[in-house]
Chains A and B, each alone.
Chain A
Amino acid sequence: MKIRRVLEILSAELITGKDLLDEEIDYGHGSDLMSDVLAFVQNNILLLTGLIHPQVVRTAELLDIKAITIVRGKVPSDELIAMAKSRDIVLISTTHSLFTASGILYKHGLMGEETAHIEI
């Protein structure tokens, strides 16, 4: 799914990354716990999170995550936005909860990242 499509489906707001909207993401993963993201995610995902600590961007950077959707309408700091911008990571904001945003995307065909794991 193109990142552009995520924006449309969620009626979300783009914070940064307008030149990267044609990039593809293969799966979704929702978590407020970055340790879990580091432990479980192995594929090209859209990260959905309610956490707005700059370490969210660092986690994305280290795992080559191209796009982050911030849920529950939380407002990230300028510092977080600058970090995402300089690392070519797309930031999207939605007023939906983590549950609802994930559900809407799933309904439109975006699968959970864990479905890609062989052992499941």
Chain B
Amino acid sequence: MKFDYIVEGGEFINAGIASAKLKKVLKQLGIASDIIRKVAISMYEAEINMVIHADGGHIEGEITPEKIEVLLIDKGPGIEDLDLAMTEGYSTASKQAREMGFGAGMGLPNIKRNSDHLNISTKLGVGTTVHISFKIT
């Protein structure tokens, strides 16, 4: 089963809607709750990043009997230093992001911790694609 969501930029209130939608779908499919939890946390963090840093983008992916694949694709500024961005506590987020309880440099480490596979391809001035996958079996 494939899915596709548009993430609007600048809409801090709506950030996380796609993650909540996918969570509902996974629940309906009867996926184990510990896996749903990992997917929800990872995708939410990545979706927040997309809204904070890249003015939105889109999320696509696929659910198969073996795994859940999520691709978050944006046309934002790109990540200058990926190793630094992966460091817990490092953040370039705005005051606005902090006001919503994010931007403390926990996002990417949190995604890494909750996923079975994380790959980030990024190019300055072009955008970032975050590929996250989760094993079901």
Contacts and interface: CB of A to CB of B under 8 A. Distances in A.
- The answer to whether A and B come from one shared complex is yes
Interface of A: 32-39, 49, 51, 53-56, 58-59, 61-64, 79
Contacts of B102: 33-35, 55
A62 B48 CA distance: 13
Interface in B66-106: 99-104, 106
**Residue in A36, A39, A62 whose Cβ sees the most chain B Cβ within 10 Å:** A62
Interface residues of B, number: 24
Main secondary structure of the interface of B (DSSP, over half): helix
Interface stretch (B2-10, B36-44, B115-123): B36-44
Contacts of B107: 35
Contacts of B13: 54-55, 79
Interface of B: 12-13, 15-16, 19-20, 23, 37, 40-41, 44-45, 48, 99-104, 106-107, 109-110, 113
Contacts of B41: 38, 62-63
Pairs of residues from A and B, 4 with the lowest C-beta to C-beta distance, nearest first? A34-B101, A35-B106, A58-B16, A53-B100
26 contacts: A32-B101, A34-B101, A35-B45, A35-B103, A35-B104, A37-B101, A38-B41, A38-B44, A38-B110, A39-B106, A39-B113, A49-B101, A53-B99, A53-B101, A54-B100, A55-B48, A55-B101, A58-B15, A58-B16, A58-B44, A59-B44, A61-B20, A61-B23, A62-B20, A63-B40, A79-B13
